[in-house]
Structure 1
Amino acid sequence: MSAGITPFPYEGPEDLREPIVQALRRVVDPEVAMSIVDVGLIYGVTVSAERAHVCITMTSAACPVADLIIDEAEAELDKVIPPGLLIQVELVWEPPWTPERMSEQGKRLMGW
């Protein structure tokens, strides 16, 4: 992935963009066995001087693994976010997730 191209909205220091993308790619949605980035669960990342804020959604409000995915996202981000920066992973429901949010690779893996 070339610099400046991110599969979700990103605001923050350029040197953190790729490490954050790669950290979130390591988090797998166990229900579909795909990266949460490819499933389209990441709505955006904003990194400020105080915190790294990630807006994430689930494919449905009844998702039984939401806490697991959030915990894993926080753990992976903790490996790449500079010490002292608060990591905040926020679960959001608007706009609702749709299959159109999936990456082309994700759609191919699902046979769509």
Structure 2
Amino acid sequence: MNIINNSNIKSTVALAVLQNVVDPEIGLNVVDLGLIYQIDFDEIGKKIFCMMTLTTQFCPMGESVTDAAKATLKSAFPGYDPTIELTFNPSWNHEMISKEGREFLNER
């Protein structure tokens, strides 16, 4: 999946730390699941904008996943205020899972 960003270096760090946020129902992190669509940094306002999705609009753990993503970004980037926006356009599908994620799920 191609993730939109405005800062390659910071986005790479953000994606690395977001790999610690695991969907509790699937057991795979939000990056390898393909749930992260966009990460932008506002250097002047010290804000992080993260657009992501969930595997389904009715995901019972959705709030837990988004709260964990926000807390992880806040911890990794002290002084920045992260905002998580959910979108379901495009809808998530299994093809969004990374190669590493597919290997992980096949081993389970």
TM-score, L = length of structure 2: 0.86
What is the aligned partner in structure 1 of residue 105 from structure 2? 110
Structure 1 unmatched runs, 5+: 1-6
Q: CA deviation at 1:15?
A: 3.9
**What secondary structure sits across from 1:77 in the alignment?**
helix
Distance in structure 1 (CA, Å) of the matches to 2:24 and 2:101? 14
**What secondary structure sits across from 2:51 in the alignment?**
strand
Within-5 A mapping of 1:89-108? 89-108=84-103
1:68 partnered with 2:69: no
1:77 partnered with 2:73: yes
**What secondary structure sits across from 2:48 in the alignment?**
strand
Structure 1 outlier segments of 4+, above 6 Å:
none
Distance in structure 2 (CA, Å) of the matches to 1:67 and 1:12? 26
Q: CA deviation at 1:63?
A: 0.4
Count of residue pairs brought into register by the alignment: 105
Q: Sequence identity of aligned pairs in percent?
A: 27
Q: CA deviation at 1:11?
A: 2.3
Amino acid at match of 1:96: S
Aligned with residue 47 of structure 1, among 37, 41, 46: 41
Q: CA deviation at 1:44?
A: 1.1
What is the aligned partner in structure 1 of residue 15 from structure 2? 21
Please, what is the CA RMSD of the aligned residues? 1.8
Distance in structure 1 (CA, Å) of the matches to 2:2 and 2:42? 17
TM-score, L = length of structure 1: 0.83
